[in-house]
Amino acid sequence: MAAFAGLDVGTTSSKAVVYGDDGTVLGTGRAATHWDVGLFGTQIDANVLWRSANDALSEAAAAARARVAAVGIASMGESGVLTDARERPLAPVIAWHDDRDGDEVADLVRQLGAEAFGGIAGKPARGQFSLTKHRWLRAHEPSARDATTRFDVGGWVVRRLGGDPALELSLAGRTGWLDVAARDWWDDALDWSGATRELMPPLVAAGQPLGRITCDDVSPQLRGALLTLAGHDHQASALGVRATGPGHELDSSGTAEALVRTVFDAPTRVQAARLAAVGITTDPSIEADRWTLLGGTEGGLAQNRALEMLGVSADGLAALDAAAERSAEGRVVVGGLGADALTLGGIAGGVGPGEVWKAVVAAAADEAWALHCAMDDVVGPARRVVVTGGWRHSAEVMRAKRARFTSLEVSNVDEAGALGAATLAARAAGAIGPDEHLGAS
Q: DSSP letter string over 242-299?
A: T--STTEEEEE-SSSEEEEEEESSPPPHHHHHHHHHTTEEEEE-SSTT-EEEEEEE-H
The rounded distance, in Å, linking the Cα atoms of 97 and 152 is 15
The rounded distance, in Å, linking the Cα atoms of 50 and 394 is 34
Question: Which residues are within 8 A (CB) of 175 and not within 5 positions of it... i.e. 6 or more apart?
Answer: 78, 80, 129, 130, 131, 152
Pair 220, 334 in one domain:
no
Number of domains in the chain: 2
Pair 52, 198 in one domain:
yes
**Beta strand pairing status for 80-83 and 149-152?**
antiparallel
Q: Are 262 and 248 in contact (CB under 8 A)?
A: yes
The rounded distance, in Å, linking the Cα atoms of 155 and 201 is 9
438 closest CA partner among 5, 4, 8, 23:
23
Question: Which residues are within 8 A (CB) of 169 and not within 5 positions of it... i.e. 6 or more apart?
Answer: 178, 183, 203, 204, 205, 206, 231, 283, 284, 286
Pair 135, 17 in one domain:
yes
Pair 354, 224 in one domain:
no
- 435 lies in some domain: no
What domain range includes position 148? Answer: 3-241+414-428
| Strand (E) or helix (H) holding 317 | helix 317-326
The rounded distance, in Å, linking the Cα atoms of 95 and 77 is 9
Mean pLDDT (whole number) for 135-147 = 97
What region, left, alpha or beta, does residue 41 occupy, with left being phi > 0 and alpha being psi -120 to 50 degrees? Answer: left
Pair 23, 50 in one domain:
yes
327 closest CA partner among 365, 357, 285:
357
Question: Which residues are within 8 A (CB) of 252 and not within 5 positions of it... i.e. 6 or more apart?
Answer: 234, 237, 258, 259, 260, 388, 389, 416
Given this model, what pLDDT does residue 170 score?
Answer: 98
How are the residues of the chain apportioned to helix, strand and coil, as percentages rounded to the nearest 5?
Answer: 40, 25, 35
Given this model, what pLDDT does residue 1 score?
Answer: 76
pLDDT over threshold 90, residue 423 = yes
Categorize the per-residue pLDDT at 255 as very low, low, confident or very high, splitting at 50, 70 and 90. confident
Residue 203 CA, distance from chain mean position: 19
The rounded distance, in Å, linking the Cα atoms of 358 and 355 is 5
Pair 336, 406 in one domain:
yes
411 class by beta-carbon count within 10 Å (0-12 exposed, 13-18 middle, 19+ buried): buried
Which residue type is seen at 163? G
- 301 lies in some domain: yes
- 440 lies in some domain: no
CATH number of the domain where residue 348 is located:
3.30.420.40
- 267 lies in some domain: yes
Pair 145, 294 in one domain:
no
Q: Are 89 and 45 in contact (CB under 8 A)?
A: yes
Tens digit of pLDDT for each residue in 68-111? 999 999 999 999 999 999 999 999 999 998 999 999 999 999 99
The rounded distance, in Å, linking the Cα atoms of 111 and 247 is 35
- 369 lies in some domain: yes
**What do you get for the CA distance between the two ends of the chain, in Å?**
16
Pair 81, 188 in one domain:
yes
Tens digit of pLDDT for each residue in 158-190? 999 999 999 999 999 999 999 999 999 999 999
Pair 95, 214 in one domain:
yes
- Between helix 353-379 and helix 299-310 the angle, nearest 10°, is 180
pLDDT over threshold 90, residue 440 = no
Neighbours of 310 (CB within 10 A): 16
The rounded distance, in Å, linking the Cα atoms of 338 and 217 is 41
Given this model, what pLDDT does residue 441 score?
Answer: 44
The residue ranking higher by pLDDT, 441 or 154, is 154
Cα dihedral 211, 214, 218, 219 sign:
positive
Pair 212, 285 in one domain:
no
Pair 216, 248 in one domain:
no
- 24 lies in some domain: yes
- 434 lies in some domain: no
Categorize the per-residue pLDDT at 214 as very low, low, confident or very high, splitting at 50, 70 and 90. very high
The rounded distance, in Å, linking the Cα atoms of 222 and 216 is 10
Pair 203, 169 in one domain:
yes
- 23 lies in some domain: yes
Mean pLDDT of the residues in the chain: 95
